[in-house]
Amino acid sequence: MGAATQEIRLKLQEYRSKEILARHGVPLLGGATATTPEQARAAAADIAGPVVVKAQVLVGGRGKAGGVKLAANPDETADRAREIIGLDIKGTTVKTVLVAPAAEIAHEYYLGLILDRATRAITVIASAEGGVEIEETAKTSPEAILRLRLHPLIGLQEHQVRRVGFFLGIPAELRNDFAAVLRGLHAAFMESDADLAEVNPLVVTDGGRLLALDAKIVLDDSALPRHPDLEAMRDLNEEEPSEIAAREAGISFIKLEGTIGCMVNGAGLAMTTMDLVKLAGGEPANFLDIGGGAKADRVAAAFRIILDDPNVKAILINIFGGITRGDEVARGIVEARAGLTRDVPMVVRIVGTNANEAEPILAEANLITADSLDDAAAKAVAAAEGRTA
């Protein structure tokens, strides 16, 4: 429960986002993906003209990192692909490139749709300063950004489409094309259950065409059960293996850099536990919400995921029983621990439902127990440093 669980959202790669937008009539230059220089060469041969080779990674700033390069012909394309595939961009190794026709750009725009929590509405965000991150524009020249709230029940209206077009200064002869882009982006947003759908940049080419050159769609995880086709677009190469394993076990997990593994029920309490580890002078190794009603199997999976991180020197288990029963977690801890290949000191604090029944189980297993959360955090930090609190 809580906000943290929904923040691990599914971001789609550029080529996937473009596939979706193309289905909704957004004009763009498709191209093909390649995982080897030879495939890139073949893709360029099909295009028969200058191409751009683009690393398919989810981190920003791939252009500056050398992940986007122009090529005049198939041979050059293979060379550029060879340089980009395998490149490390902010910790992600490039596995796939998109080979797309190159465009001569006359003007760039930003066009996005987001779900705005504050107004509880989908909001159009538009700027005539495309090609840069919208957050950057928001900082440097907020007046250059139009925010337009869509009606939550009737959605995007034609007068709104016109207004955005006029704001951006779309040339008169391209206004119909622009309407198709915005309507298509909106339809894609609604049908995919997106949190964010953006085209950046949307360009007018030297030849006077309006095209989506880059696209990004971020999905609402809660809606994924009704979109198996979109779930299949998840790029596992971009995710921590431990985070993939956690998702499969029904656990919310985010890997961090510290030494104290945390296992907690509830997102807010999990964040609080991390905060108190820090307050006690330690660093949390992860965020982990084991979810409501956790039993032995999920506790065991959580242990494996936490201990898979070699930095972990101690584990802090904090369970406030409500739906979750303390004695079931305690038994799960003891059972799972017996099957572990690596052992580290464990500090366990169980309160709430069936906490009294949990006590003897934990005492017998020789686990370090704690009465309060502050006490548990202090003991975990001490244990990670090889001393007793």
Residues at the contact surface with another protein, assessed by CB under 8 A:
1-9, 114-118, 120-123, 125, 134-135, 138-139, 142, 147, 152-153, 190, 193, 195-196, 198, 218, 220, 222-223, 225-226, 254, 256, 264-269, 271-272, 274-279, 284, 287, 292, 320-323, 351-353, 372-374
Q: Which is nearer to another protein, 2 or 101 (CB)?
A: 2
Residue 9: CB minimum distance to another protein, A: 7
Cross-strand pairs, 187:
none
Per-position DSSP letters for 67-133, written without gaps between them = -EEEESSHHHHHHHHHHHTT-EETTEE---EEEEE---EEEEEEEEEEEETTTTEEEEEEES-TTS-
Residue 43: CB minimum distance to another protein, A: 29
Residue 328: CB minimum distance to another protein, A: 14
Q: Which is nearer to another protein, 79 or 359 (CB)?
A: 359
Q: Which is nearer to another protein, 226 or 387 (CB)?
A: 226
Q: Which is nearer to another protein, 76 or 289 (CB)?
A: 289
Cross-strand pairs, 357:
none
Among 15, 76, 109, 110, the one annotated catalytic: 110
Does 198 participate in catalysis according to the annotation? yes
Pairing label, strands 314-321, 260-264: parallel
Query: Judging by beta carbons within 10 Å of its beta carbon (0-12, 13-18, 19+), is residue 370 exposed, middle or buried?
Result: buried
What SS3 class is residue 176? helix
Among 14, 198, 243, 328, the one annotated catalytic: 198
Q: Which is nearer to another protein, 157 or 222 (CB)?
A: 222
Residue 179: CB minimum distance to another protein, A: 23
C-alpha span between 360 and 316 (Å, rounded): 18
Structural tokens at position 367: 């686990």
Cross-strand pairs, 346:
315
Residue 287: CB minimum distance to another protein, A: 7
C-alpha distances out from residue 169 to 56, 129, 320, 355, Å: 31, 11, 56, 65
Does 110 participate in catalysis according to the annotation? yes
Give the residue numbers marked as catalytic.
Answer: 110, 198
